[in-house]
């Protein structure tokens, strides 16, 4: 598999994967977060600069002491200078401590902002994008990647930042003390620059590759574990072991690569530290011989350059963490470029991604025109569907399993967007509707009834944020959810694990109450009652009848009775609508529907109640 490498200015978009932000997006996002907490950031820089300046006092005064002793200065002068060293050290300690405190606060607050933004963006993703990319990817980005980026913000980032300021000040001090000696020191450091540049050029892709290899291995191992029974039953053991071994090998070679990069970097750095000190001592010694610099200046310069190794070490040791967290941050920020449910690409800051205006459908008519659709890179499962649904009509869609009925219902509900062609409501492409407006147009009811963690009220307000308690109770009554009257805390009763547990039919009523509250003109029913036991199904059907009254209904029909009762029937076969008309017309036409009807009708007499 190709590792998710990012180009410089465009987010990576492997079809079906969530995008990864390119370095430019990452920089822009980082600047955006800094701007949001500008004052703390500036205070942090100022304090760090002061702390670094205080740190320069020591070596400079040591140089002065040497010169003083050499010139035969008294003990009192040396004591004064030594006291100065102490004051400098204490000041540096206090300033560093406060700077670090500010840095941590900045890190924590920014981390909170990143988390909030991530949640907002994750919630704006179309369900289809998450399904295709795999919920695991989104979870990994929201947990491990956010944590890694957070650790950098809280600890690594401030450490590196402090070290960078110190290093700059020390270099400045050496150059001020004696430009020639300073230049020797800086020249001696160039080895570090080359080694680091060599490393950084290779590290990003190597670490992204390592991350990708780990994900692939984790996925393969968990697939083997969850499918253990199947693996056993089909005798796939050896195949799975071979597959895992191959993925482990890829992991090992990816790790070997990053290890190699480090094993070149660190020794080169160690050698590079000694070079400037040696250079200053050699050149300084010669200059001192000729009386061009004082001994104190040579010692102070050597001490400064020696001191430089500490901040440089911090920076270099953390480069690895910075690398891996910049890859993590790129994955977290990648969501900015993912499509959102209603506004196209999310807020990447580009002019072309501004939210689309809220289009208003002119009526309730749904039109499907020449629609083609494929899951991911697969073959088209809808292959040119044309269909018009008139307001108020009841349309049944029938056809063999795999014909594309559920897929069509997802497109009609705006969950997936067609690859080619259009699905419009009142002349507006469904994909252009905001989630709010879409909810008032079309709602898909399936057999999955999710009860959200929260109160009964929370569970209902999802469908209509502004609804009053009276409206919520009326919706529950409309779907026959009488049990809700008996709840101890009424609408405040907490649902889900640890709270009040709803059984299947109650959860379904809650879902139907949400439909009543959303009040869409069109309801799509996909296997809404297929899996329920007959008593529950009867209950639900009564509730459904109430919910559906006065609305356009598109039903994926599993029982031909539903088709018989509908105004029109669409027959789907192999990704196309092959027959469309009233039940009577289609039976008279003697095509696929007539055949289905006769075989069903022949086996099981129709209930008289129809």
Report, in Å, the least distance between residue 428 CB and ligand ADP: 24
154 binds ligand ADP (CB under 6 A): no
Helix (H) or strand (E) holding 423: strand 420-425
Nearer to ligand ADP by Cβ, of 375 and 483: the residue is: 375
What letter would DSSP give residue 195? Answer: H
Q: Are 575 and 381 in contact (CB under 8 A)?
A: yes
CB of 18 vs ligand ADP, minimal distance in Å: 16
Nearer of residues 227 and 426 to ligand ADP, judged by Cβ:
227
Q: Which residue's CB is nearer to ligand ADP, number 399 or number 418? A: 399
CB-CB contact of 478 with 517 (8 Å): no
Smallest gap, in angstroms, from Cβ of residue 525 to ligand ADP? Answer: 12
- Span from 48-56, 298-306, 374-382, 559-567 in contact with ligand ADP (CB under 6 A): 374-382
Task: Give min distance, CB of 599 to ligand ADP, in A.
Answer: 18
From the list 51-59, 263-271, 396-404, 431-439, the region that binds ligand ADP by CB under 6 A is: 396-404
Closest distance to ligand ADP from the beta carbon of 110 (Å): 37
Positions in 274-293 near ligand ADP (CB under 6 A): none
Size of the site for ligand ADP (CB under 6 A): 11
The CB density around residue 401, as the number of other CB atoms within 10 Å, is: 7
What is the separation, in whole angstroms, between the first and last Cα of the chain? 56
Nearest CB to ligand ADP, comparing residues 300 and 560: 560
- Alpha helices in 384-441, H assignment, sequence order: 405-412, 435-441
Least CB distance from residue 404 to ligand ADP, whole Å?
Answer: 4
| Site track for ligand ADP across 397-436, x = CB under 6 A | --x-xxxxxxx-----------------------------
Nearest partner of 221 among 207, 231, 235, judged by Cα: 231
Q: Which two tokens stand for residue 230?
A: 């199947």
Whole-number Å distance between alpha carbons of 549 and 495? 29
Q: Which is nearer to ligand ADP, 131 or 313 (CB)?
A: 131
Is-contact 504 532, C-beta < 8 A? yes
Of the ranges 202-210, 253-261, 375-383, 455-463, which one interacts with ligand ADP (CB under 6 A)? 375-383
Min. distance of Cβ 593 from ligand ADP in angstroms? 15
CB of 574 vs ligand ADP, minimal distance in Å? 9
| 381 binds ligand ADP per the rule CB under 6 A | yes
Residue 510 and residue 517 in contact, taking contact as beta carbons nearer than 8 Å: no
Q: Which window, 214-222, 233-241, 373-381, 485-493, contacts ligand ADP (CB under 6 A)? A: 373-381
Cα-based torsion angle of the residue sequence 498, 500, 504, 507 in order, rounded to the nearest 10 degrees: -110
CA–CA distance, 130 with 367 (Å, rounded to integer): 27
Shortest Å distance, C-beta 551 to ligand ADP: 22
Instruction: Let me know the angle formed at the C-alpha of 51 by 50 and 54, rounded to the nearest 5 degrees.
Output: 85
Contact 510/541 with Cβ under 8 angstroms?
Answer: no
Q: Which of residues 333-352 bind ligand ADP (CB under 6 A)?
A: none
CB within 8 Å of 115: residues ≥ 6 apart: 146
Comparing CB distances to ligand ADP, the nearer of 378 and 534 is 378
Half-sphere exposure of 244 (CA within 13 A, CB side): 14
Binding mask 561-590 toward ligand ADP (x if CB under 6 A, else -) reads: ------------------------------
Distance of closest approach, residue 409 Cβ to ligand ADP, in angstroms: 8
16, 449, 364, 575 alpha-carbon torsion, rounded to 10°: 50
Query: How many of the other CB atoms lie within 10 Å of CB of 581?
Result: 16
Interface with ligand ADP by CB under 6 A: which residues?
Answer: 375, 378, 381, 399, 401-407
């Amino acid at each position: 598999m190709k590792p998710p490498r990012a180009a410089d200015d465009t987010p990576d978009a492997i079809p079906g994967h969530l995008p990864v932000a390119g370095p430019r997006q990452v920089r822009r996002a980082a600047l955006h977060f800094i701007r949001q907490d500008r004052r703390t950031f500036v205070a942090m820089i100022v304090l760090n600069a002061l702390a670094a300046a205080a740190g320069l006092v020591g070596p400079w005064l040591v140089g002065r002491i040497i010169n003083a002793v050499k010139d035969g200065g008294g003990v009192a002068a040396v004591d004064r200078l030594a006291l100065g060293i102490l004051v400098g050290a204490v000041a540096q300690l206090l300033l560093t401590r406060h700077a670090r405190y500010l840095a941590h606060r900045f890190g924590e607050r920014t981390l909170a902002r990143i988390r909030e933004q991530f949640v907002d963006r994750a919630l704006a993703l179309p369900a289809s994008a998450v399904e295709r990319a795999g919920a695991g990817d989104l979870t990994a980005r929201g947990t491990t990647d956010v944590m890694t980026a957070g650790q950098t913000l809280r600890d690594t980032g401030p450490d590196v930042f402090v070290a960078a300021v110190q290093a700059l000040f020390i270099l400045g001090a050496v150059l001020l003390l004696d430009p020639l000696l300073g230049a020797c020191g800086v020249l001696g450091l160039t080895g570090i620059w080359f080694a680091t540049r060599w490393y950084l050029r290779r590290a990003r892709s190597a670490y992204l590759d390592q991350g990708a290899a780990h994900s692939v291995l984790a996925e393969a191992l968990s697939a083997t574990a969850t499918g253990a029974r199947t693996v056993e039953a089909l005798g796939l053991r050896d195949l799975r072991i071979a597959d895992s071994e191959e993925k482990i090998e890829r992991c090992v070679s990816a790790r070997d690569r990053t290890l190699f990069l480090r094993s070149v970097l660190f020794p080169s750095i160690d050698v590079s530290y000694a070079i400037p000190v040696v250079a200053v001592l050699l050149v300084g010694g010669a200059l001192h011989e000729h009386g061009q610099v004082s001994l104190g200046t040579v010692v102070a310069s050597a001490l400064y350059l020696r001191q430089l190794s500490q901040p440089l070490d911090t920076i270099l040791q953390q480069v690895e963490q910075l690398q891996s967290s910049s890859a993590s941050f790129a994955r977290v920020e990648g969501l900015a470029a993912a499509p959102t449910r209603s506004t196209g690409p999310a807020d990447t800051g580009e002019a072309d991604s501004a939210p689309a205006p809220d289009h208003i459908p002119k009526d309730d008519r749904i039109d499907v025109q020449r629609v083609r659709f494929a899951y991911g890179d697969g073959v088209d499962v809808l292959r040119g569907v044309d269909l018009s649904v008139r307001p108020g009509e009841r349309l049944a869609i029938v056809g063999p399993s795999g014909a594309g009925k559920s897929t069509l219902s997802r497109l009609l509900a705006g969950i997936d967007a067609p690859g080619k062609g259009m699905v419009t409501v009142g002349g507006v492409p469904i994909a252009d509707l905001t989630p709010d407006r879409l909810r008032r147009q079309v709602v898909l009811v399936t057999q999955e009834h999710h009860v959200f963690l929260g109160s009964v009220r929370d569970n209902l307000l999802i469908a209509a944020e502004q609804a009053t308690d009276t409206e919520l109770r009326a919706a529950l009554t409309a779907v026959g959810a009488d049990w809700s009257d008996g709840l101890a805390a009424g609408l405040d009763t907490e649902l889900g694990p640890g709270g009040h547990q709803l059984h299947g039919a109650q959860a379904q009523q809650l879902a139907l109450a949400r439909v009543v509250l959303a009040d869409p003109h069109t309801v799509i029913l996909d296997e809404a009652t297929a899996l329920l036991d007959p008593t529950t199904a009867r209950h639900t059907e009564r509730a459904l009848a109430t919910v559906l009254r006065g609305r356009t209904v598109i039903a994926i029909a599993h029982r031909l009775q539903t088709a018989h009762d509908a105004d029109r029937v669409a027959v789907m076969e192999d990704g196309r609508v092959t027959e469309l008309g009233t039940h009577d017309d289609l039976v008279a036409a003697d095509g696929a529907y007539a055949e289905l009807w006769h075989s069903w009708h022949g086996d099981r007499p129709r209930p008289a109640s129809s």
